[in-house]
Structure 1
Amino acid sequence: MASPEDDQIKQVVLDFLRTADIATTTERKVLAHVQEALVLTRPVSEYKPLVSGVIDEFLASLDDEGAEGDDGHDEGHSGGDDDGEEPAPKGPGRKRAGSGAAAAAAGAKKSRKGGSGGEELLFSRDLSARRKARVRRWEGKLYIDVREFFNGPEGEAPTQKGLSMDPGQWARLARELPRLVEAQRSAEADAPPAQLAEKRMAAVSEFKGTCYLGLREYYEKDGKLLPGKKGVSLNLAESTLLLAAVPEITAAAGGLVDAPPLEHGATQPDKAVASGSGSSAASGRPSAAAGKAAAGTAAASGSQVGGSAEAREFVDIGGSKRVSISRFGGRLSVDLREYYEKNGAMLPGKKGIALSPDDWRTLAGALGDVSAALARKDSTYSMQLSGKRKVSLSDFKGTTYVGVREYYDKGNGEMAPGQKGLNMNPQQWAALVAGAPSISAALQQAQEGH
């Protein structure tokens, strides 16, 4: 039977959680608040199991609300909200297109008609047992949806836990995803968030020792940006699969669009850590005013928030590999290369290949075809560039790689891969696809003499 002190602690924890930013609140912060708010009879560490249980129950209640679809501000919208989002279908009554055992085993589904309401499912990729990334057309508009599903009486159905993005918002996310996933992998919970819309963010946060990538809509109240119910937090495995699926998702959505610049007054959440004072002002809730200057913050990798055709001289694709604009001997090229660190500086290594502007444009024009072959794990795929250079796929230890490489004649007419080239795993290829428009824009500016 719970003691009066236990009941008091539970109430303090619940009161704190109801006003805290769940995306940035940690168990340590909650324990610090309990210690600050109450006179405890034992060391605070002894209350950790109790506090942890209350947190789990609170999170489970949020999950139940999402599954039941009781998000009140979604009700009654026939044409979507202010951000152009079509509300997620509520509860059972509509089966996911192609739901059967055979279709589910495939993992990805394309060009299937949905159930009611004029929805057409163009693409679906499983991120985990319950979460999917989908491209769908609803009443003539395209949406890229990252959402959790549940098994209802009539089959699999979407919950309210997720975010539907228009093509412009997806373009911003696709370009920032390599940086965000790398930050999540490195447990950098203070990494700059990516702004998708005026009050929509993609941000890395830590909870109970685990980093999550949150895709969420915020709302403003009393000068604070507070997390709303629209959104989903992805673990590292889910965000990595989302990154790997960027080329296919983008192809299904018709390519990366020119996302219009965000308004200068757009807000961003403040990633400041709570000071431990226990006050609501220090509970990690973001300030609308404090975040305005963050819109355009660049990560150390050189990735920036911005429009789709923002020119960048290099894009970090992970694993110390970069795509960059290179100038040597008066010649302009796009360099795909692995770098190494020396004396605190990143220097180009021997592994790589410099593509002529024409070869880069050929590659950039075939991103969708290469990505489709990669999704099929088709190691027979090959695409010719100029001369003895080509793009091909290969398998190594269960992973399919995209190689851009120069070949040589072994002497009997048989072509073999040479040393000039770069192999990219699916995540690195996805990062190249996401950054390709920025590299192409920088290449065009360089050719025009800007």
Structure 2
Amino acid sequence: MGSHISEEEIKSAVKSILQGADLSALSERNVREILSEKFGDAVRTKDVKNLITEEIQDYLASVADVEEAHNNNEDVVRSSQVPLQRRDTGKRKAEASDGPVPLAKVARSTNSAQEATFDLSNRCQVTVRAFRGNPLIDLREFYHKDGELAPGKKGIALTKEQWGVVKSKAAEISEALETGTDDYEVELSAQRKLRVRLVGKNYCVDLREFYQKDGEDAPGKKGINLKPEQWEALVNAAADIDAELQVLDASAKAKPKQKDSTGRDEVAAAPSAAVLSGEAEITAQGSNALPVILSSNRRADVSNYKGSTFINIREYYEKEGEMLPGSKGIALSPQQFKILQAAAGDVSAALASRNMDFKVALSSKEMYEKDGKQLPGKKGISLVAEQWQNLIKGLPALQAALP
């Protein structure tokens, strides 16, 4: 690490980039390029590259944990967050105890995301699933609710790399657990550790996320304690977990294209309903080329609201198998769209040359003045280079759909 740049500065910068980005379109290379603008060639060293990779993987796993915990709090079961095949026949009935059970693989989900779940005990499971295209090994506890088991907050989703570290140290971990070596510790990433520690009267395997407090690592709330029998069940399931990871990898590389009603390849399903500015229904018009797919969760389309036509560039989210519009986005009038079309070449040139001073005034709205400066408001959307290029390709289709 260079003397002029600290590890914490890199971590903070990576997190800042990821928090405001479309994770489905952003690559690690994009992150490094953005960082190089701020820190220069220091980010090109091997140590910094490795740190960036770790931070990205940790952030993806953290986002997956947060979304799953959010769903658990609302008692909502969604295919991409709560991968329990048992939901097809109702939640799992609660057993009388949390003792060891024979390791049993739950049948893979029939949802769009391939998932496989293994019991570690009556109230603890490990699930192999994908989140935004990244494979995760999700360890989670369950709790009793209305005589059934529901996913709880205690848990952690490991990246494939972190799972690899756990596997490579499995024999040592088992020995430390058996001998009661409570100072045994394995670093899974810059922010995650596996420890063997005493909980009550029994030793357990603790997989946990840490944070900095007074210059020292302190354990956070995100994590799980595995009892010896749960750890043993996890070790026994390792080969099957690896097999499921291979299935996910193969599926990601060879995912077949879906066909629409005319037999043509379909990029993504169009939303059945949409909301403009949070309240008005959007009706897609015109061409079969619409909506223009900018990324897996971003689209551009032509919509109508109270007799007025808009070009809507918006981020979507999935709910119950449908893509619904989120709050992040902007609706352009035909005149604003015309200005954007005319300036498209200049925008692309500025993007390629990284001209941070380039601006195009579409209207006087959506910005506000403070201390003599024009600042961006809440309404709007930021596109990465790939999304902008996809929008450029879709401009003719959007223009053709205008009345």
- TM-score normalised by the shorter chain: which range applies? 0.3 to 0.5
Question: Could you state the TM-score of these two structures normalised by the residue count of structure 2?
Answer: 0.39
- Using CA pairs below 8 Å that are at least 6 residues apart, which structure has the higher relative contact order? 1
Question: Could you state the TM-score of these two structures normalised by the residue count of structure 1?
Answer: 0.35
